Amino acid sequence: MSRPVEIDELASALAQLAPAAYLCSVAADGRPKVVHVPIAVEGADGGVALIAQVGPGTVANVADRPSVTLMWPGHDDQSMSLLVDADASASPIDGYVTLMPTGAVWHRPAPPMDLP
């Protein structure tokens, strides 16, 4: 089960989490690229932009395929994770990416797997 987070409530949700997330982008060959990045939050409830500093591979990915997802994993196996979809734009000069959230959801942890 998941629970949607309204964009105007995202700043409050992010205040509960670590100041870093996994940023998922897509490379030119279609493969996912996942990097761990510190995240700065600009704005407050009512509207928010997220800022991350990334390497040249992620800058290139974002320049060609700006739809990305950020993930803040739960802090234990019972905690929900926060997933945020965003439109990204990057500066190739300094490697900063600006992420404008388009949707967010708290996602439940998966139940333990029953192996045969």
For the chain, which ranges sit under pLDDT 70? 44-46
What gap in Å lies between CA 28 and CA 47, rounded to an integer? 31
Q: What is the pLDDT of residues 67-77, one digit of tens each?
A: 999 999 998 88
What is the topology classification, in CATH, of domain 2-107? Pnp Oxidase; Chain A (2.30.110)
Determine the pLDDT at residue 43: 79
Three-class SS of residue 3? strand
The amino acid occupying position 25 is S
Determine the pLDDT at residue 76: 85
Say which residue the tokens 């493969």 belong to.
Answer: 31
Per the prediction, the chain carries an average pLDDT of 92
Say which residue the tokens 């060609």 belong to.
Answer: 64
Determine the pLDDT at residue 115: 85
Determine the pLDDT at residue 44: 57
Determine the pLDDT at residue 113: 83
Instruction: Provide the residue ranges of all domains of the chain, joining segments of one domain with +.
Output: 2-107
Q: Nearest Cα to 13, choosing from 110, 89, 81, 109?
A: 81
